[in-house]
Amino acid sequence: MPGPVGPPAYRRGVSIELRWAVTDGPAGTAAVTLPEDGTAARVLGLDRSGGFWCSREAGGCGGRLVLEARDGARPHFRHSGDVRCAFTAADAGPAYELLRHRRALGAWLAAQGFRPVLEEVPGTSGLHVVVAEVSCALAVQLSPLPDTAWRERDDRYRRQVRHVTWLYGPAAESAGDTELAVRGVAYAVRRHNTGLLVGVRDVDGGTRWVRLGACRLTADGFEAPGAAEARALHACRAADRQEAARRAARCAERAAQGAREHPRVEAPPVLPFPA
């Protein structure tokens, strides 16, 4: 079972507005975020009449939450009573964002008959998902990741399974650029309602967005509509570069050969006029 997604350490005397919750119990994963509009927030409260909790799976306390949506004030959740919780002093957003991705990926893989192992990557907003049945791993990265760290993790994951697929959130786009340059295709990921969208990026700067449900995980790796076309485009661009390099080399060789066959004749020195 995956461990909870933890927030920064608890600090007394600091209060941060809580805008995230779950609707399926103290250890739930059905995360919701409050809309900015008070009326929309009240409608959300009516739709989720079963209540809201501070999810232990996100690193919270598991306690009940009360929806506050007063006129003229920004909607937010508050704990019932004086509760010691990490989310009273830390932004819950990153932890719940990761929780929503974990839930969507887990459901997508379960629908294909897999039993994945989902783990949080310590020290970063990321998930490592291993699907042993097809020797595949998914790496979800939602926070910035330096190039050296990306290469180290990618190499480590590839020593464990045959296929590794990275899914990059908006903040990790530069890491996606690195993979795009290396492999000719990279996958962006965005939340869409309760599910996820996958963006297939190609070397010409295009991105084709598809629902996660349109993708599949097989013994050959992650399959998404548009990925084969992106790889073909990369191969075409690589072939064009190689051909351009060969033409440049041939031109340089012809120029060098011409210089050998027709060496430059130095003009005779100008003698001084006799006095």
Other beta carbons less than 10 A from residue 202's beta carbon: 21
- Residues in Cβ contact with 225 at an 8 Å cutoff, skipping those fewer than 6 apart: 200, 208, 210, 214, 215
- Give the C-alpha distances (Å, rounded to integers) separating 74 from 55, 115, 127: 22, 40, 31
Regarding predicted confidence, which is higher, 43 or 127? 127
Give residue 194's pLDDT: 80
Q: Which two tokens stand for residue 12?
A: 């007394």
* Mean pLDDT within 238-244: 72
pTM: 0.77
* Mean per-residue pLDDT of the chain: 86
Amino acid, res. 109: L
DSSP, res 103: H
- Residues in Cβ contact with 82 at an 8 Å cutoff, skipping those fewer than 6 apart: none
Closest residue by Cα to residue 138 from 154, 152, 122? 154
Where would I find the H helices in the chain? Answer: 38-47, 93-111, 147-158, 173-183, 227-261
User: How do residues 252-275 score in pLDDT, each as one tens digit?
Assistant: 777 777 667 667 666 666 666 665
Task: List the beta bridge partners of residue 127.
Answer: 120, 140
DSSP, res 137: E
Give residue 273's pLDDT: 61
C-alpha torsion 263→267→269→272, nearest 10: 180
Residue entry with tokens 């799976």: 57
Amino acid, res. 129: V
Per-residue pLDDT band at 13 (split at 50, 70, 90) = very low
Give residue 178's pLDDT: 93
